[in-house]
Amino acid sequence: MLSARIGSWQGRRAVQVAIPLAGVALLGLILVGAFHKAYRPGGYDVHCFLATARAVHAGANPYLVDMPIPYNYPLLACTAAIPLTFLPEWCVHLGWFLASLAAWVCVAILLVRRLPRPPGIRTAWSLVVPLGIASMLLFGSIQNHLLNGQTDAFVLLLCVLFWIDWQEDRPQRGAFWLGLAVSLKLVPLLFFVPLIWRRSWRMLAGTCAWILLLSVALPAIFLGTGVFSAYEHYALTVLTPELYTAVVSERYPHNYTVHGALTWLVPAWKTSLAVRAGAALLVVLPLVAMEFRGDGGSPWRRLARLEAYLAGILLLAPLSQPHHLTLLLPAAWLLALRWLAHPDRSLQAELFDLAPFGLFPLWKILGGPLEFVAVAWLFVAAAGRATQPGRQGPALAERNPALKVG
């Protein structure tokens, strides 16, 4: 079995040294590529944040800044980037790169700490190799994120922090994390679904308060009442066109959303608001059903629910871009941890686990809706694990009492 083979050699000293060194060397090459992109004509996404931050600092509407890469975020991102405009540009690019890596490392640590240590793993350092190998399942998305200076790593960290604090009954802190995540990108609004279903009104109120504070009050320090005209422009030129624009285009050929899959089947539906609403329901209703069937008593099931919501964000995203797929990193890491916990899994089960990740590179050859199939596969599989204990529930709990929580 693949998991047994990996478990047999991943503990070797030579492997534990060679793979991290190879990973560092690979990241060094990506860093060189990121700097190359940063200093090309037009720059990359970090320049978008710097240019709009200078506009906000000057009291101007950031959505009116003319630049090759449009600013499609709420006002917090460009407002928070104002301090970066006073730093040397090379320092900003290096810091952004390292901060993205640090965010992913923090997510991995947060997940690992909430699960029992797999059999045969004596130290946390022993998990570096399997988690590093699992990261390679999404290598294309990781390098795209790092090469283009994206924000998905920060959004992912905030979503995981929110989820953990909510599950561990820290509503005030959880509300801050979710409010910050929504203020950076709107897509974490999907986490309102479990909050509403669980009637977590206190956390919902706190989240909305933080959204208003971070997205409106903070930018208003520099823009004054101009913050409202800026958001009017944002709604008219960014949000509204996305409702009527095709998800898949020559500029954005990737396609992993429900709406993108539907319009791939029936091109005439590309500008239909009814189809967009139906696509949203095809994601929200299964999540509601998942919440109805159980609250995920074990840590494995709780994290499976998180996997489902992160995949759901991708299925609902207004655009399909490769760097967004880094939201699936927890799914890849939890897959590695499940394999370590169950080294006796059948080969068929292991291949089934790997199959959706294999569809992402296959899409580059065959095209079509393969990316959607992969994300939908991970979405359904995570929801299934969240509601059915299976081997990761009672069977594993019998061998490891640490799983018997809540």
The per-residue pLDDT string of the chain (406 residues; one tens digit each, 9 = 90 and over) reads 555 556 555 556 676 778 788 889 999 999 999 999 989 888 889 999 999 999 999 999 999 998 888 899 999 999 999 999 999 999 999 999 999 999 999 999 999 999 888 776 777 777 888 899 999 999 999 999 999 999 999 999 999 999 999 999 999 999 999 999 999 999 999 999 999 999 999 999 999 999 999 999 999 999 999 999 999 999 988 888 777 665 554 455 678 889 888 888 888 888 788 988 999 999 999 999 999 886 657 899 999 999 999 999 999 988 788 999 999 999 999 999 988 887 777 888 888 899 999 999 998 888 788 999 999 999 999 999 998 765 444 344 343 433 333 3
Q: What is the pLDDT of residue 118?
A: 79
pTM: predicted TM-score of the whole model, two decimal places: 0.91
Q: What is the pLDDT of residue 190?
A: 96
* Dihedral over Cα of 396, 397, 400, 406: its sign: positive
Q: Counting Cβ atoms within 10 Å, is residue 348 exposed (0-12), middle (13-18) or buried (19+)?
A: exposed
Q: Estimate to the nearest angstrom the gap between the alpha carbon of 207 and the chain centroid.
A: 19
Q: What is the CA radius of gyration of the chain?
A: 21
Q: What is the pLDDT of residue 18?
A: 80
> For 61-200, where are the alpha helices, taking DSSP H only?
75-80, 89-113, 128-135, 139-148, 152-167, 171-184, 192-197
Query: Helices (H), strands (E): how many in the chain?
Result: 21, 0
Alpha-carbon distance of 223 to 235, in angstroms, equals 17
Mean pLDDT, the chain, integer: 87
Residue length of the chain? 406
Please report where in the chains the tokens 């004054």 appear, as a residue: 224
Alpha carbon distances (Å) from 326 to 34, 141, 167, 310: 17, 6, 23, 10
Q: What is the pLDDT of residue 1?
A: 55
Q: What is the pLDDT of residue 6?
A: 60
Cβ-contact 151, 144 below 8 angstroms: no
Burial pattern 319-339, b for ≥16 Cβ within 10 A else e, equals bbbbbbbbbbbbbbbbbbbbb
Residue 275 three-state SS: helix
3-state class percentages of the chain: helix first, strand second, coil last, to nearest 5: 80, 0, 20
Q: What is the pLDDT of residue 245?
A: 61
Burial pattern 245-284, b for ≥16 Cβ within 10 A else e, equals eebbeeebebbbbbbbbbbbeeeebbebeebbeebbebbe
Alpha-carbon distance of 333 to 120, in angstroms, equals 17
User: 28-87: per-residue pLDDT in tens?
Assistant: 999 999 999 989 888 889 999 999 999 999 999 999 998 888 899 999 999 999 999 999
Q: What is the pLDDT of residue 12?
A: 66
Q: What is the pLDDT of residue 399?
A: 38
